[in-house]
Structure 1
C-alpha cells in the first residue's frame, strides 16, 4: 500500500497512525538538514506530543540546503510529507508508526527568498539543525569560525542570495528585526559537545562580519539551548524498505529505521515558546553538560573504539563486532577504566546500567547498523569523541594504551585495505589529506599526530602516548586485530 493521506486508514492494523488531523497542523518550527536522525528524534517526539492532542501549532517545515536534498523532498512530497518510523529490535515493543509532524520541505536552490521569508515568518518560533559536526565551520584546533571559507565569503558579499546556513539565518533575522518580529530559538540537534554554544559562536562570528548591529541584536534576542540527543539511526537501505513492505505492507519511498531506544536532554532556554515535549519523555534541565559528557565519551567514544577495529577485521555491521567477545571485553575495559573515572555524577543515571544498555544497543542485530556510517568523517569525530578522553588520560598520568588503539586503528583504516585484503573507500571530506598522512609507515606517528586540528597539542607532546600509538599501530599491521586485542586486554589485567 503506497503511503499517503488517502491510504492511511487502509494500512495494516499494527501500524500506528497519527491520532491528529493533519489539516489542523500549523507550522511553528523550521528544521534545516532533514535526514534520518531528525525524523527518528525531533519529529518523533513532536508527533508523540501531537498524538496527545497538544502541539498542533508546532508542525515542522523541513529545509534542504544541498542539491542532494531534492530526492528527499520529492519522496516526502510524493506521500503528503508522511513517512514511516520503523523500529528494529528484539523487543516486542518495537513499533511501526506513521509520522505526520513534517508538513512541508523547502529547497534553498529553488529560491533563496522563499526560504528567507519562511524563516522570517512570525509563526516560526524554533529553527532546529542537524547539519553534521562539520557544518558549523568551526576549526577544531582553534575553536574559531572559519570565515575564510569560499561559501562564507560568498554570503558576506551577497547577503540576499545566501548559500549557507549562516547566510540564511542572518538574512531572516535581519528581516525579523526590521519588522519588529521576535527572534526565534536556534536549536542544534547535532551530536557535538555544547552544540548550542557552538551554534551561537558560529552565527555571531558570521553576523559580526555582516552587520555589527545585527550581531548585537542576535546576541541579545536569540537563544541557543544545548542538547544531548541519542538514538541509533542507520542509513535506510533498500533492504529496509523491502522489509517494511514485506512485513507490514507499506510502500514508503523514504522510511526511517532506528532502534527502540531514544533519549533527549535539553536545556530549557526558548525565547518564543516551545512544545511541551516533557510530556512525551524529553528531559529538560538547567545544564546538559553531565549528560552530554556521558553520551559523547561513553557512547560515541565506544563507537569509535569499535568501528575502525571492526572494519579492519572484516566486519561491516556493529552487531558483528559485538558478537566477538574480544570486542565486547575491549569496549567494557575502555568504558570502565578509561572513560568512567573522568565523568561527573549524572543526575538520574546509573552509569553501570547505562554501560550495560550500550552493550545491548550495539548488539542489536535487527537494526543492522553499518560500520561504514560510524566510520564516516573520522577526522571530525575523533576530535570531539576521542581526543577529550585522551587529553584527560595524559593530564592525569594514566595508561593510554587502550585509547591509543582507537587512533592506531583509524590510522590503519585510512590505508583503505582490511586485513582480509578487501579494499574500501574512506567516507570523509578530508579523505585525501588524511590518507596522505599515513602513506609512509616510518613517519606515520610523526605526521598524523602532528595535525593540530585533529589532535591538538597535548597528544603529540606526550612521549608516552606516541609510543603507545606506535606499538598499537605496528601490532595491528603485523599481527592483526585479534592478536592486538588479546595483548592489550592481557596487559590491562
Structure 2
C-alpha cells in the first residue's frame, strides 16, 4: 500500500464489517489490554448483534495510556487479527463507548461502578491485580497500596476500587450489580468477593456496614473461565493488518482461532446474550477452570521455561522439539489430567489434541518470554493441587518438579549458569527476592528450599514437602550441570518408571 494510510475510524475501516456504536454502556471493564479486546469484546459484539441491549463497554486501563490514546484516536475501535497457518482474518468488535486510565482518573472508576447504568463490571487485571497474600489467600492488608486505599481518598488498587464503588453504589442507587472476574484464579468469583469483603471488613464498622449488607444482598460474583491465546502486538503485525484494512490500526490484537468462555449464570442485573458468541453457561465452571489452568496453562509454563533454556524464542519452536513435546505430553498424561474432573460433554482426548495444535501454531509466534513472565504468581495457581494430590499418595510429581526447577533456572540462575536471553527477558515480581537467594545457594537444593519453604513461593502446603523440594533441587543441579535435555530425560524416565512400578503392584 503506497503512501500513509488513514487512521482506522468509523469512516475508514476497509471491507471489514463494523457494527453501530452501542447507544449506552452497561459494562465497565477493568484491564483494557489485548486479551479483553480479543475475548470479552468479541463475545459482547456477537451478543449485541444477536439480541441487542445496552451492553456497550467502558474500558479502563490501569496505568498505561497507550491503548486508551489509540482507541480515542480511532473512534474507540481496534481490530482483532485471528491468525492460523492457513492465514489471517480481521474483525472489529466496535463495542466500546469510552475508555480512560484509572491512574489518571481514579475517582472516575469508583463513580462508574456506582453508576446504576453499569450493570456488570468485568476484570482482566491478571493474577497480580488482586492484592491477595500468597501465604493466606486473604487481602494483603500490609500492601502499601491497600493501606492507602483503606485510609481513604481515591483508591488505586483493583480491590479498593471495587470495594469503594460498591460502597458508593449502596449509599446512592442501591441498584444490583454483577462483578465478573475473567482472570486465571481458582473459583475467581468467590475469591474476588472474599477480597472485596476483606477490604470492607477492614474499614471502621460505621463506614463498611452498609456496603457489606449490600454486597451480600445485591452483588453477584459468578465465576468464569476464559481461554484464548493472545500474543503481544508487533510492528510487523501492525503493518500487515493495516495493509489488509486499508487503514492504520495502532493497536491490532493477534489471537488464535480457538476461544472459550465458561460462566456461571448468576447475574444480579441481567447480562448480554454471550452464548451467541459461543460462551457456555454452566454449573461446572470449576471443572472448566481446572482443565484450563492445569492442562493448558500449567503445561504452557513448562514448555516456556524448557524452551527458553534451550534458546527457543517461541512456543511453537519449543514444543516442536521432541524432548520438550515429550515432557509436555508426560505432565499432561501423568500429573495434570488425572487431577481434574472433566466437564460434562468435553472430549478430553480431543481437548488435549487441540492443545498441541494451538501450541504449534507457527503463524501466531507466541513468545516463551511472554508465557514465562510472572511465573511466581501463575505457578501458584497451577501446580500446588495436582502436586499435592500425588505427594499425598506417596508419589512424586516429577514433571511438576521439573517445571519449578526450570522456572528457578530461568528467573534466578545460580552464579555461573546462563539461562539465555529469552529467560532473561521474562519479568517476575519475585526475581528481586530470588536472585540473592540464588547467589548464596551452594546447590540446587539450597535454592529450592529457600524459594519454596522460606519464601513460600507456591503457598504453605508445598513449603512443607521436603521430598518435593529435594527433587526440585536435584533437577536444578541437573539443568546446570548436564543441560535441560538431560533434566527432561531424567524426569520423564522417572515418571514413566514410577507408573510401571505402580502398575506392577496392582493385583491381577
* TM-score, with length taken from structure 2: 0.90
RMSD of the alignment, in Å?
Answer: 1.9
Compute the displacement of 1:421 (Å). 7.7
Determine if the alignment matches structure 1 residue 448 to structure 2 residue 466.
Answer: no
Distance change (3 Å), C-alpha of 1:120 and 1:461: closer
8 A Cα contact 1:236 1:256, kept in partner: yes
- The Cα of 1:425 is off from its aligned counterpart by 4.2
Shift of 1:285: 1.0
Q: Structure 1 segments of 4 or more deviating over 6 A?
A: none
With over 3 angstroms needed to count, the CA separation of the structure-2 counterparts of 1:55 and 1:140, relative to structure 1, is farther
Q: Encode CA deviations 1:7-57: one digit per residue, 9 max, x unaligned.
A: 13xx1x4x3x22x322x53100000110011111100100122233x2341
Partner of 1:26: 24
Q: Which position in structure 2 is the counterpart of 1:359?
A: 356
- How big is the shift at 1:133? 0.2
Answer yes or no: is 1:477 the counterpart of 2:477: no
1:3 aligns with 2:1: no
In the alignment, which residue of structure 2 is the partner of 1:105?
Answer: 99
Q: 1:420 to 1:222 in 2, by over 3 A?
A: closer
8 A contact 1:438–1:448 mirrored in 2: no
Using the alignment, how far apart are the partners of 2:275 and 2:244 within structure 1?
Answer: 33
Q: Partners in 1 of 2:91 and 2:57 — Cα distance?
A: 17
SS at match of 2:330: helix
Pick which of 282-291 and 243-252 moved more: 243-252
Paired residue for 1:75, among 50, 70, 76? Answer: 70
Deviations 1:213-253 (A, max 9, x none): 31222122110000011000111121221221244434101
- Do 2:255 and 2:364's aligned partners in 1 also have CA atoms closer than 8 Å? yes
User: Matched residue of 1:234: which SS?
Assistant: coil
> Partners in 1 of 2:213 and 2:168 — Cα distance?
15
Unpaired runs of 5+ residues, structure 2, are: 498-508
Give the deviation of 1:403 after TM superposition.
Answer: 1.6
Aligned to 1:86: 81
Q: Distance in 1 between matches of 2:28 and 2:159?
A: 14
SS of the equivalent of 1:454 reads coil
How many corresponding residue pairs? 481
> 1:165-191, CA deviations, whole angstroms, 9 ceiling, x for partnerless residues?
233333332332223331310000111
22, 38, 47: which is aligned to 2:36? 38
CA contact (8 A) 1:311 1:418 kept: no
Partner in structure 2 of residue 156 of structure 1: 150
Whether 1:272 aligns to 2:269 is yes
Runs of 5+ consecutive residues of structure 1 not aligned to the other structure: none
Q: Which residue of 2 aligns with 1:407?
A: 404
**Within the alignment, does 1:208 sit opposite 2:201 as a pair?**
yes
Please give the per-residue CA displacement for 1:469-492, whole angstroms capped at 9, x wherever unaligned.
122111111111122223333342
**Which residue of 142, 157, 166 corresponds with 1:173?**
166
1:342 aligns to 2:327 (yes or no): no
